[in-house]
A and B are shown apart, each in its own frame.
Chain A
Amino acid sequence: MKKDYVNIGKRLPRVDAIVKATGEAKYAGDLSMPGMLHGKLLRSPYPHARILEIDTSEAEKVPGVRAVVTGKDTIGFKAGGISAQGDEPYLAMDKVRFIGDAVAAVAAIDQETALEALDLIRVEYDELPAVVDPLAAMAEDAPRIHEQAANNISFKTDLAYGDVEKAFRECDYVREDRFETRPIRHGFIEPHAALAVWDHSGRVSFWGSKQSPYFTYRNLAKALNIPLSRVRVIQPYIGGGFGGKNEMFNVDFSAALLSRKTGKPVKIVVSQEEVLFAYRQRHPTVIDLKTGLRKDGTILALDAHIIADGGAYLSIGALSLYLMCAFFCMPYRLPNMRAKGYRVYTNTQPSCAMRGHGVPQARLAAETQLDIAAKEMGLDPVEIRLKNALKPGETTPNGFRITSCGLEESIVKAGEIIDRWRKESPKDDGRRKRGIGLACYGYTSGPRMAGHNTAAAVIKVHEDGGISLSTGSTDAGQGSDTVLSQIAAEVLGVRLEDIRYGMVDSDITPLDPGTFGSRVTFFTGNAVRIAAEDARGQLAEVAADALEANLHDIVFRDRRVFVAGSPDRGIPFSKLVKIAQYGGSGKTILGRGNWAPDGIEVPNFKTGRGNMSAAYSFGTQVAEVAVDTETGFTRVTRMAMVHDCGQPLNEMAMEGQLEGSAIGGVGHTLTEEIVRKGGQTMNPSFLEYRMPSTLDACPLEILHTDTCDEVGPFGAKETGEGIQVAVVPAIVNGIHDAIGIAFKRIPITPIMVLDALKKK
């Protein structure tokens, strides 16, 4: 389905690119206000301790200090949840549960005074035994981190479909492996920052670095115990999120609480070091996986046992665990499966969503094991994937309905790339061994879950032909402001530069769940399409009158409105708006759109049944690696992705998403790990926590499958998030191909490679 669009599918620069290139774009930490105070947080130095007493009197005496708050100044609201009870106070009440847990907050005339005051707060702790290993945390005699959680289990899932035991008996080949993924960080460069202003009418206005600002909107009201109508959340530009800026954090809450106490604006910007040891991470996991196949490579059964280290608090971990288990059902046909998951509390920083949310850990295990199986059974890794690939029209045993699906095509094309690369570069270059690996993925285009999960858009048309577009969605860097603007421009027959995209202001913009699960383009994109159609319909009535034509014959295209078949019988778009606004009693052209997928069975986290998304994206990732057998150092030399995102709305923006995801995946596979000793983060800096730099970037080939989704806006689906699921196992499988060693733990460090080569 290739249509002749003016805006859709074009390589258009982002609508926010110029202000970001000039430094004019304001992020939360850039904002300031007259009389503004600066806040700082005091954090626990212990992984687990009871708070006996907090004495803030000395701190309060420091000249320039305006307020000190602790848990006692709060109503004790506990954040977190989704299908479970919240458990995380913004300021510790009775206990601290990890090194970095916030205990008190100070507001002062400048940051230095605030820091000086922090040093003078006396906290008397009764240190408790800590547990930092998730397996140890599940033992009967382990210290209990939350009273209500026996064996420190914060959430569990048990999904079972088909007859797993019987199916394993029918298998020709069965293997079991244990996989381990280590904690990693989101890696945004902008640290958490918040500015809050409490006024004496009882309203709080808030600017923060939030990818899902309506989380903060609701939780500010709850935690401050004020009506929702008293909260206003305004969204500045966001310096990356990747899942780590969804929730409201202690920095956000403390800014608001300190503003209430002082009557002044309060800004808190945390340091990058604090981001590293005191905020969120991706769930580390231990996964025992058993897969059974027929000798022709057909997967018959899978049995997974997952222990996910949730850290000190629940966060949105119930969803994380559900996703880890449920996505064993994708992207391969799996008639019999069982996935048992435990999310476990430990005295470490809390785990939450991160790009791919739970799925990367599960798919790493499944894709690596499938590769080992193929090799041992003498089957081609491309063929085995092709044999099991889901096809359009299938339903997975847990209820995911596959509609548009270019998986088969992507595997075939990936196979062609592998053949070409094999011919181009020698496998063995002396001490450097080359290998090529592949892996596949399927991912959601926005989850439909319980609670508020719809999207909305409002469009206002101006007399110069300009369009104001507002939604509740945020662009944390993924390019959605641009893509949503392209959709509005296409429907209304104007150009991208005619759209003014309004960022979130909870007083004005419509309610939205947030930027997560690759939902914005799919959900909000449809809402924008509907809002634009609504506005266009109102204008078409005016045009039909003015042009003396049938309503259904009015065409909107490239800033002109004309009668179908007679492009000369038309007027400029801006003139039409003026006719509408100036004529008779005048018309205000306002388009409204709401959208959520119809007839979707909301997933049940405990049983796993349900269809979480109206469309799934698919793809195959290929990675070529060179392993230096003398130093153990692995380089990813090039990668390719064949990718079904439906119809790309903006190829340049889409490529950027895929490239970022892929290079991020290189870091996750080879270098990134939060290293802790007894709950203390040993590498809370960018030097020691090694994210990829320009020197790790490699050439990438990006190909699409020929797919178009029926439900997605202009045929589009998810892009850029799901691919990271496949990048990591593709590299692991590439190393397997290069040196014959299938690593079952990431990151794969040079020492691991050398040790494994020695043992071989």
Chain B
Amino acid sequence: MKTQVGLKVNGFEYDLLIEPHWTLLDVLRDAIGLTGTKEGCGKGECGACTVIMDGEAVLSCLVLAIQAQGKNILTIEGLAQEGRLDSLQDAFVKYGAIQCGYCSPGMIMTSKALLSKNPHPTEDEIKTALSGNLCRCTGYVKIIEAVRNASRTEAGK
């Protein structure tokens, strides 16, 4: 039995008819068409599906869409404003933190949640925040460097 839910994603309201067991990830990707959020494992183990819900980084594969009702959801597609990349996206590009790119949206969203709470994290804090986001390509070195540099850009604003 499908149910009606209202979701607020990247500032837009969506009225959707969904199955109660559908995850936020399913709904973002299949019902709304926001495929920037990736599914790596579907079990909360890889971090690829990370989005921000009311300021917290969450694994959208572990959140039911109906649990997300009334919450503010930010996905990778909502980061760039007026054609300008977010400072984190910009840093990921500039410091070579992206290779295959499949983990990148999740990495960027986890980092975004970190920087909005802790604008000047130490290296250890960055590593801890990102420890649930797996990447096989980069060895994490340039990802950590990008987050560190983005935190400096933010500070300079």
The answer to whether A and B interact is: yes
* Closest A residue by C-beta to B19: A112
In the complex, A657→B141 CA distance in Å? 11
Q: Known A240-B102, A655-B96, A691-B136; judge A272-B127 contact (CB<8 A).
A: no
Contacts of B135 in A (CB 8 A): 189, 660
A187→B38 CA distance, assembly (Å)? 16
B99 lies within 8 A of A697 (CB): no
- Least Cβ distance of B149 to chain A in Å? 13
For residues 633 through 658 of chain A, which have their beta carbon under 8 Å from a beta carbon of chain B? 652-653, 655-657
CB distance from A28 to the nearest CB of B (A): 11
State A29–B25 Cα separation when bound (angstroms): 13
Residues of B within 8 A of A239 (CB): 38, 100-102
- Whole-angstrom distance from the CB of B40 to the nearest CB of chain A? 4
Q: Tell me the smallest distance from the CB of B143 to a CB of chain A, in Å.
A: 7
Check B128–A695 contact: CB distance below 8 A: yes
Most A C-beta atoms less than 10 A away, residue of B102, B128, B134, B140? B102
Interface pair B99/A13, CB less than 8 Å apart: no
Minimum Cβ distance to chain B for residue A669 (Å): 14
Which of B108, B132, B140 is A697 in contact with, Cβ under 8 Å? B140
**Which of chain A's residues have a CB closer than 8 A to the CB of B104?**
20-21
Cα distance A647–B45 in the bound complex, in angstroms: 39
Residues in A with CB closer than 8 Å to B98 are 14, 16-17, 20-21
Tell yes or no: A148 within 8 A of B by CB. Answer: no
Contact, CB under 8 Å: A656 / B137: yes
Judge whether B138 and A189 touch: CB under 8 Å.
no
Report chain A residues within 8 Å CB of B132. Answer: 693
Shortest distance from the beta carbon of A59 to any chain B beta carbon, whole Å = 21
A695 to B136, CA, bound (A): 14
B98 CB, nearest partner CB in chain A, Å: 5
- Please, how many angstroms separate the alpha-carbon atoms of A545 and B45 in the complex? 63
Q: Could you tell me the distance between the alpha carbons of A697 and B137 in the complex, rounded to whole angstroms? A: 12
Do A272 and B40 have beta carbons less than 8 Å apart? yes
| B72 on interface, CB distance cutoff 8 Å | no
Tell whether, in the assembled complex, residue A694 and residue B137 are in contact, meaning their CB atoms are under 8 Å apart. Answer: no
A27 within 8 A of B: yes
Is B127 a contact of A695 with CB atoms below 8 Å?
yes
Also in contact, A697 and B40, with CB within 8 A (given A18-B85, A22-B77, A656-B99) = no
A355, closest chain B residue (CB): B136
Pick the interface stretch among B1-9, B63-71, B87-95: B87-95
| Residue contact B79 to A22, C-beta cutoff 8 Å | yes
Given contacts A22-B36, A22-B80, A23-B37, are A478 and B99 in contact (CB under 8 A)? yes
Partner of B102, one of A11, A189, A686: A189
Contact A188 B136 (CB under 8 A): yes
Contacts of A477 in B (CB 8 A): 99-102, 137
Q: A695-B127, A697-B127 are in contact. Are A26 and B35 (CB under 8 A)?
A: yes
Total B residues in contact with A, Cβ cutoff 8 Å: 54
The answer to whether A191 touches B40, judged by C-beta atoms less than 8 angstroms apart, is yes
A52 contacts partner chain B, Cβ-Cβ < 8 Å: no
Contact in complex: B130, A21 (CB < 8 Å): no
- Decide yes or no whether B120 CB sits under 8 A from chain A: no
Residues of B close to A687: CB separation below 8 A: 43, 45
Q: B139 to A663, Cβ gap below 8 A?
A: yes
Given contacts A477-B101, A686-B45, A694-B130, contact A13 B136 (CB under 8 A): no
Q: Who on chain B is nearest to A193 by CB?
A: B39
Quick one: CB contact mask for A650-675 with B, threshold 8 Å, 1 for yes? 00110111011111100000000000
Is B116 an interface position by the 8 A CB rule?
Answer: no
* B24 contacts A by Cβ under 8 Å: no
Q: Give the chain B neighbours of A23 by CB distance below 8 A.
A: 34-37, 75-77, 105
B41 on interface, CB distance cutoff 8 Å: yes
Closest to A20 in B: B101
Q: A687-B45, A695-B127 are in contact. Are A242 and B136 (CB under 8 A)?
A: yes
Is there a chain A Cβ closer than 8 Å to B126's Cβ? yes
B92 and chain A: residue at smallest CB distance: A21
- Chain B nearest CB from A665 CB (Å) reads 9
Q: Measured between C-beta atoms, what is the minimum distance from B90 to chain A in Å?
A: 8
Closest Cβ neighbor of B39 among chain A residues: A29
Contact pattern, A 28-53, Cβ under 8 Å of B = 1, otherwise 0: 01100000000000000000000000
Answer whether residue A24 sits at the interface, using C-beta atoms and an 8 A cutoff: yes
- Within the complex, what minimum Cβ distance (angstroms) separates B92 from chain A? 5
Contact with A13, one of B96, B100, B108, B138 (Cβ below 8 angstroms)? B96
Given contacts A21-B108, A238-B100, A656-B142, contact A190 B35 (CB under 8 A): no
**Are the CB atoms of A187 and B136 closer together than 8 Å?**
yes
Q: Please determine whether A16 and B101 come into contact, CB atoms closer than 8 angstroms.
A: yes
Known A240-B137, A660-B136; contact A188-B100, beta-carbon cutoff 8 A:
yes
A479 interface hit (Cβ, 8 Å)? yes
Contacts of B52 in A (CB 8 A): none
Bound form: Cα–Cα A18–B93 in Å:
6
Q: Which residues of B contact A655 (CB under 8 A)?
A: 96, 141-142
B136 touches A189 (CB 8 A): yes
Kindly state whether residue B133 has any CB partner on chain A within 8 Å: yes
**Is the beta-carbon distance between A17 and B46 smaller than 8 angstroms?**
no
Cβ contact within 8 Å between A272 and B42: yes
Known contacts A190-B102, A656-B99, A693 near B42 by CB under 8 Å: no
In contact, A695 and B105 (Cβ under 8 angstroms): no
Contact of B99 among A24, A269, A660 (CB under 8 A): A660
A685 at the interface (CB under 8 A from B): yes
Contact partner of B100 (CB less than 8 A), chosen from A11, A190, A269, A659, is: A190
With A17-B93, A693-B134 in contact, is A476–B100 under 8 Å at CB? yes
- Asked if A686 meets B100 with Cβ closer than 8 Å, knowing A17-B93, A23-B75, the reply is no
Give 22 CB contacts A-B under 8 Å. Answer: A16-B98, A17-B101, A21-B90, A21-B93, A23-B76, A26-B35, A30-B29, A30-B35, A189-B103, A189-B134, A238-B100, A239-B100, A240-B137, A656-B99, A660-B135, A663-B140, A686-B40, A686-B134, A687-B43, A694-B133, A695-B127, A697-B141
Nearest first, the 8 closest Cβ-Cβ pairs linking A and B are A23-B36, A477-B100, A20-B101, A239-B102, A663-B139, A23-B76, A659-B139, A30-B35
Given contacts A20-B101, A686-B134, A693-B140, 15 further A-B contacts (CB under 8 A): A13-B96, A17-B98, A20-B98, A22-B80, A23-B105, A24-B36, A27-B102, A189-B100, A240-B102, A272-B41, A477-B100, A653-B96, A656-B99, A656-B141, A662-B139
